[in-house]
Amino acid sequence: MGNRTAVFKPYAQAVPGAFSISKKDKSPCTNACPGNVNAHGYVSMIGEGKYKEAMEIITRTLPMPGVLGRICPHPCEDACRRAQVDSPLSICTLKRFAADQVDINDLTVPEITPRDEKVAIIGAGPAGLTAAYFLALDGFNVTIFEALPVGGGMLRVGIPDYRLPPSVLEKEIAWVQKLGVEIQYDTVMGKDITVDSLTEEGFKSIFFGIGCHKDIKLGLPGEDEVENVIPGVKFLRDAALGDMKEIKGNVAIVGGGDVAIDAARTALRMGADKVSILYRRTEAEMPARDEEIEDAKEEDVDIQFLRAPVEIVAENGKLTGIKCIQMELGEPDESGRRRPVPIEGSEFIVDADVLIPAIGQKSDASFLKNTDGINLNRWGNFDVDQITYQTSREGVFAGGDAETGASIAIAAVGAGREAAISISRYLKGEDMAAGREKLEIPQQNFNAIPQKAKKIPRAHMARIPMDQRKSGFTEVELGFTEEQARQEADKCIDCMVCCECLECVKACGAKALTKETHEEKDRELELNVGSVVISSGFSPYSPKNLDFLGYEHRPNVITSLQFERLLSASGPTEGHVVRPSDHKEPKKIAWFQCVGSRENNRCDNAHCSSVCCMYAIKEAVIAKEHDPDLDASIFFMDMRTFGKEFEKYYIEAKEKHGVKFIRSRVHTINPVGDSGDLEIRYVKENGELIVDIFDMIVLSIGLEISPELKKLAKQFNIELTQGSFAQTATMNPVETTTPGVFVCGAFQGPKDIPQAVVDASAAATAAGELLAPARNTLTKTREIVPERNVIGERPRIGAFICHCGANIAGVVDIQALKEYIQTLPYIEYVESNLYSCSQDTQTNMTEIIKKHNLNRIVVAACTPKTHEPLFQETLINAGLNKYLFEMVNIRNHVSWVHKANPDQATEKAKELIRMSVTKVGLKAPLKEAKLNVNQNALVVGGGIAGMSTALSLARQGYHTHLVEKEDRLGGQALNLYKTWKGEDIQQMLDEMVQQVGSEENIQVHLSSTISQVDGFVGNFKSVISSKDGEEVVEHGVANISTGATEYKPIEYCYGNSPRVLTSLELDQKMMANDPMVNSVECAVFIQCVGSREPDRPYCSRVCCTHSVESALEVKKRNPDAAVIVLYRDIRTYGERERKYIEARKAGVIFIRYSLDNKPTVRVEEEGVIINTTDHVLGQPVEIEADVLTLATAIVPRKEEALAQYFKVPMNADGFFIERHAKLGPSEFATDGVFLSGLAHYPKPIDEAVAQGKAAASRAVALLAQGTVTTNGEVASIEPMSCSSCGTCVSVCPYSAPSFIEEGRFAGKSEINAALCKGCGLCVSSCRSGAIHLNGYDNDQIFAMIGVV
């Protein structure tokens, strides 16, 4: 919807906020060019009307644009992908167009550093001229020796003037000469000069580009003696040089190549009465260009096919005709063309006054002597190295037709350039071949062909009228008009995306982008690492293959990821939701869930993608916030909002926002005429068929693993699950099957952000456990510049204004700002810089601060949020306290947002600077205190999560106190039977408890609780109480993993019968091999007992999987048992979904109930009777069960005391609140206190282990620092003014203020700088004005307000 150019920033808030260039595989046109001319580049420039720039691109690799633009057989066009839309672009003629617009001699001659070495080039043809051009650019002294009196070689004497006017060629030869190349004409090799003589004259290197100027003979008797038999190449040369002016009578030409056609059309123009071409095959096999054949035919050249000459017929030594034999096509020969076979007895005579054999030409190097040491191959061509073009004699090179045999000019250009590179390296003593191996460039990944591309016929050049054509040598083709050229160039589909025009390099004033960075490629680095973490994520499922959805065919069917971009303020429509087809605001949107998830038939993703239900609800809610009238419907199978606070969000979406939730999997989307609207049909739960029309449909696409990632997994020898996610074990949830290789994020299984963040920390700590001994071995210590004491000094303010290229300077009048700032008080120094953030400006600033003895700095540039730390670093380097600094945002807040009003923008910039200058004068140096971090840890709670944290900390060398209130470790895991993966939990738990027991660094405190906590991050002092007394421990960090309990139901007759159990009780019975479960005939499970109820509006996350697993276990023990699960939504997220499938396959019956129609249970003698309504039949059913299992909620312990000790919050349900729901799930907002396990939210064992490790990871990040540095910009209290009201103590969210307990100021409040976040809440709340916020104090802010 929005257009992105090749140079782009992914989106406005992207991190890093840098630009990238998209390059796909090399554009086929450029790739196909033997001369490596950047066709894509110059075509783009022509499309933009930048003709000079087009010429600059061409002349990077080709010195003769006008020539090649006329005569090149353009392999580029054969490769052009536009052919898939209509026809290839006229790339060749576009090149000519550029050359016609810009005189090549008007281009700027590049700066050349002259060198002493002399190079001789033999032959001024395309190869020789090109080699000379590039050598001259490299500074060498180049002389071309040419046998003919004119330059250009075959271009001049082989191509007739009506195709290539000599003036065009001469102009381009002049350009080569302009670079300093000297050309000596009429200098014949072997006669005037030799290899030895050149060497003697001081030429250090020689290049042979002598072309193929010798005709191949027909091999018929009389060919050399009979008058008027003129070889084709000689004929064209004589005509070009004016040695032959006229030709009369019937002319017969033998051959089918370009020379034959050129000879024919030249003969016509020289007065021939009739011109015939005799060719031994058919038109399809003719090597001449199709355009040329057409032109010849238009000019009445008689082309006769399947004729081969057998005898020259002459009378008295004068030609009268040529005897031919009729041919027919036989089997294909080596060249793939069908071999002509003579028909016996079919000879006939073609009358002819002139015969021009034009069957080919070869190179003539007969001037070489054996002693020259230059080898020729069996065809008489130069034998060269295929990369360097060096001959068998060192320093002598050859290329072009002389090396390949007769070929096309652009190939000779390519060879000339390659040889020039070799010669240059040779003369500089460098390795000639290094890095020049001919690589196969893959040609697969291109910019997609736009679906909407209209078919536009290929442009054709106008031509001169026919009578003018035949009567002279005026150029036939007239080139494109500007309109034609622009239109033709605009057809380019930018295969590579970036066309490598390098205009961006010119535009980048900061020189961040250079030719080298532009050409940066993937590099291979070898790293020595002790561990690997793979966090390569997932690939969004592409719904292309689900044809019934019509994705990509119907513009208003989009994916959820595309919809995310539509909602985003930095998206293509700046957050304005419109539908793609007509940019109308949609009034009715449907979301289809499980597209590419839970789907085994049409795709291979049996797993649940875990995140789609929640993101679809979020998208619907945000869309409704944009437009409250929007009709939003989500079509789903099971609503899986199993994350923390997700169920509440789901309820709010339904009840508060009015999002509709429809339980149905829609099959087909049909377009409604051309309106863009979409009609769907679906069946409601009651069986009713509904037809509905939507403006737009969003496909909630699933997560899957890309083939590349599977390949990577193979390289690491990692085993994958059925769904191709990395295989991990419950107790090692982030370790792959290859030791030392860890995994986090969606590659481990589909998951949301909080879980991915937990895994990431866990993987980091898992690697840390392995590598603990290597900690701090690769660190560097920075040199510290001593800080200058400025207290008592009069302010000496330095102001630095940034142009930010044209970003600021383009709008704001920098000069006016400078002049204005000079007038402000205490200003000592003002300067402006193109880019203040550049490295050299930073160095310069350091010097200026020292030189001018500045003690306050103001930088007027971009936003302090990104750049303040950089400039503060500069202050530190200059010996200034970093807080003596203010930044003025004159880019984001001024130049970018007031573009149309430069005057007002300048005025605003002046005022903002005045405010900051005033403030900075009042700023004082601030201290950042460093406090040591106690290296011990405290873990409260000895369940799976707590043990996981403790083990991780201990393994990394930190002494850990593990406090458990029960008399044994294990927590809730002690009650559990098996994981969903089938692992025996008791066995795993035993191992873990043993590991804890044998870990020296862990001190286990059983039957103990915490009774008091003092201190703050790095310096806690806690009291551990047990029946044996109290123990005080000092620790730097604490982890809370106090777990949760099982809900004991009051409903469903729990407690009235031994047959009614909770899930944990059933597990106990299974572990004990209780006959009751082994012989059960009918087992019923009721889900969501106590969860997702008004009292507990959260999902307990683990119960669906647990019941499915238990149901399977019952079936395993007694396959004939009837097993029925009564559920609301089955939430077997991720690959747990496979268990759900397995259960259904095993015959477990799933019956859905709703919250307003819950099952009823009564206990009778023979069993438990359950009444419910079957959701498929809509009929009441009665089930008599032997065992009824209630999947009860997980209930938090509501550890109020602990929460108060550590000053950490709890939510309404009683779960602890983490620092950040997404980005800080395993730590508290209170520094130094961490969180894991069920105390955070219900979770299965693998997630508890991961979070335990994650908490340890976050803790180690703090412990390993050894010290904590407080922020300077914190609050401080003047005890003399404090009235001890306690407001600050109660308002602070971080518990930084507290009452002084003893001494002179006992009862007054004080701030702990280590805890203060500098928000200033206490400052504005203080009734006595006793609190100051350093860096944002009242006087500073009043001063700013005062000068507005």
Partner 1 sequence: MSKWEPKIIAFLCNWCSYGAADLAGVSRMQYPANIRVVRIPCTGRLSPKFILSAFMNGADGIWVSG
Q: Which residues would be at the binding site for partner 1 (CB under 8 A)?
A: 12-13, 569-570, 574, 863-865, 889, 891-894, 896-901, 904-905, 907-908, 911-912, 915, 1273, 1318-1321, 1323-1324, 1333, 1336, 1338, 1341-1342, 1344-1346, 1348
**Residue among 701 and 1323 whose Cβ is closer to partner 1:** 1323
Separation of alpha carbons 487 and 951, rounded Å: 70
Cα distance between the two ends of the chain: 43
Separation of alpha carbons 1254 and 386, rounded Å: 58
Name residue 30's amino acid.
Answer: T
**Residue among 409 and 1323 whose Cβ is closer to partner 1:** 1323
**Residue among 807 and 1189 whose Cβ is closer to partner 1:** 807
Separation of alpha carbons 799 and 91, rounded Å: 54
Joined tokens for residue 512: 């961040």
Q: How far is CA 529 from the centre of its chain?
A: 25
How near is the Cβ of 574 to partner 1 at its closest, in Å?
A: 7
Q: DSSP state, 893?
A: I
Which of 1039, 1038, 1035, 1060 is closest to 1048 using CA atoms? 1060
Contact 119, 204 (CB under 8 A): yes
**Residue among 787 and 868 whose Cβ is closer to partner 1:** 868
> Can you tell me which residue has the tokens 């789907």?
599
**Residue among 774 and 897 whose Cβ is closer to partner 1:** 897
Name residue 561's amino acid.
Answer: L
How near is the Cβ of 585 to partner 1 at its closest, in Å?
A: 20
Q: DSSP state, 895?
A: I
Separation of alpha carbons 1008 and 948, rounded Å: 19
How near is the Cβ of 682 to partner 1 at its closest, in Å?
A: 39
Separation of alpha carbons 22 and 1043, rounded Å: 49
How near is the Cβ of 799 to partner 1 at its closest, in Å?
A: 18
**Residue among 887 and 1053 whose Cβ is closer to partner 1:** 887
**Residue among 568 and 1173 whose Cβ is closer to partner 1:** 568
**CA angle centred on 1019, ends 1015 and 1025, rounded to 5°:** 65
**Residue among 527 and 1348 whose Cβ is closer to partner 1:** 1348
Joined tokens for residue 546: 């689900």
Separation of alpha carbons 1253 and 1039, rounded Å: 11
Contact 636, 595 (CB under 8 A): no
**Residue among 806 and 897 whose Cβ is closer to partner 1:** 897
**Other C-beta atoms within 10 Å of 433: how many?**
13
Separation of alpha carbons 707 and 727, rounded Å: 16
How near is the Cβ of 882 to partner 1 at its closest, in Å?
A: 16
Cα–Cα distances in angstroms (integers) from residue 750 to residues 193, 758, 895, in the given order: 77, 14, 44
How near is the Cβ of 981 to partner 1 at its closest, in Å?
A: 42
How near is the Cβ of 1 to partner 1 at its closest, in Å?
A: 16
How near is the Cβ of 791 to partner 1 at its closest, in Å?
A: 24
**Residue among 15 and 434 whose Cβ is closer to partner 1:** 15
**Residue among 858 and 1250 whose Cβ is closer to partner 1:** 858
How near is the Cβ of 871 to partner 1 at its closest, in Å?
A: 15
CB neighbour class for 1229 (10 Å; exposed up to 12, middle 13-18, buried from 19): middle
**Residue among 1162 and 1220 whose Cβ is closer to partner 1:** 1220
**Residue among 400 and 571 whose Cβ is closer to partner 1:** 571
Separation of alpha carbons 178 and 1290, rounded Å: 83
**Residue among 744 and 905 whose Cβ is closer to partner 1:** 905
**Residue among 567 and 720 whose Cβ is closer to partner 1:** 567
How near is the Cβ of 868 to partner 1 at its closest, in Å?
A: 10
Contact 1226, 1217 (CB under 8 A): no
CB neighbour class for 1340 (10 Å; exposed up to 12, middle 13-18, buried from 19): buried
1079 has which bridge partners? none
Contact 1064, 1103 (CB under 8 A): no
How near is the Cβ of 1319 to partner 1 at its closest, in Å?
A: 4
| Dihedral of the alpha carbons of 858, 863, 869, 870, in degrees to the nearest 10 | -80
How near is the Cβ of 1338 to partner 1 at its closest, in Å?
A: 7
With residue 28 as reference, give the H or E element that holds it: helix 28-32
CB neighbour class for 1276 (10 Å; exposed up to 12, middle 13-18, buried from 19): middle
**Residue among 462 and 1347 whose Cβ is closer to partner 1:** 1347
**Residue among 326 and 570 whose Cβ is closer to partner 1:** 570
How near is the Cβ of 1347 to partner 1 at its closest, in Å?
A: 8
How near is the Cβ of 1324 to partner 1 at its closest, in Å?
A: 4
Crossing angle of helices 902-921 and 814-822, in 10° steps, is 30
Which of 74, 164, 502, 481 is closest to 489 using CA atoms? 481
How near is the Cβ of 1229 to partner 1 at its closest, in Å?
A: 14
Cα–Cα distances in angstroms (integers) from residue 924 to residues 652, 760, 789, 794, 1317, in the given order: 50, 41, 11, 12, 19
DSSP string, 691-739: EEEESEEEEEE-EE--HHHHHHHHHTT--B-TTSPBP-BTTBTTB-SST
Separation of alpha carbons 582 and 676, rounded Å: 8
How near is the Cβ of 1322 to partner 1 at its closest, in Å?
A: 8
How near is the Cβ of 898 to partner 1 at its closest, in Å?
A: 5
**Residue among 514 and 1324 whose Cβ is closer to partner 1:** 1324
Separation of alpha carbons 873 and 644, rounded Å: 41
636 has which bridge partners? 663
How near is the Cβ of 21 to partner 1 at its closest, in Å?
A: 20
Q: Give 3-state DSSP helix, strand, coil % of the chain, rounded to 5.
A: 30, 20, 45
